[in-house]
A = this chain, B = another copy of it.
């Protein structure tokens, strides 16, 4: 009850000018849309698709490497890997360098699946981001990476 002291106007928080909110709003909108499409078309969830994409790029990888790269939790990675092995899309080969871990690689079927999905993924991206110039996209990408860096720097506890 001792409040009416407004010394300075203070920059007034408006939720939809608030960047963390906007970022999350847009990201949820986009990933939600895409997630539904993966699910409907290929029966894949986002983490599964990410494994496929990363492994297709790298040839093979351990779960821990995938986790580090995508910042997905190791549990998430573990579950996605199990599902994909089950489905015949991935193989686990023993890793001689460390018998606790396995090297994940795509099966023939996995490569075929990747070959079917990747173009569609790029096409969705194109549809959503198509009206942007490549400069704009480059700017966006750079900004996002700088945000990552700033976030990690400002809050080191973010168990990196």
Interface string of A100-141 (1 = CB under 8 A from B): 000000001001100100110110110111111000110111
A152 within 8 A of B: yes
Instruction: Find the residue from A13, A33, A115, A124 having the highest chain B CB count within 10 A.
Output: A13
| Chain A interface main SS type | helix
Taking a contact as CB atoms closer than 8 A, the residue among B3, B124, B129 that contacts A147 in the complex is B129
Are B128 and A151 in contact, CB atoms less than 8 angstroms apart? Answer: yes
Of all chain B residues, the one with the shortest Cβ separation from A112 is B3
| Total A residues in contact with B, Cβ cutoff 8 Å | 67
A70 within 8 A of B: yes
A39 within 8 A of B: no
21 contacts between A and B (CB under 8 A): A3-B112, A3-B115, A13-B53, A14-B57, A15-B54, A18-B122, A19-B125, A20-B125, A20-B128, A22-B141, A23-B26, A23-B27, A23-B144, A25-B70, A26-B148, A33-B151, A128-B150, A128-B154, A131-B150, A132-B146, A140-B143
Q: A14-B57, A29-B147 are in contact. List 6 more A-B contacts (CB 8 A).
A: A10-B119, A17-B141, A18-B53, A23-B31, A26-B147, A131-B146
- A residues in contact (CB < 8 Å) with B: 1, 3, 10-11, 13-34, 50, 53-54, 56-57, 69-71, 108, 111-112, 115, 118-119, 121-122, 124-125, 127-132, 136-137, 139-141, 143-148, 150-152, 154-155, 158
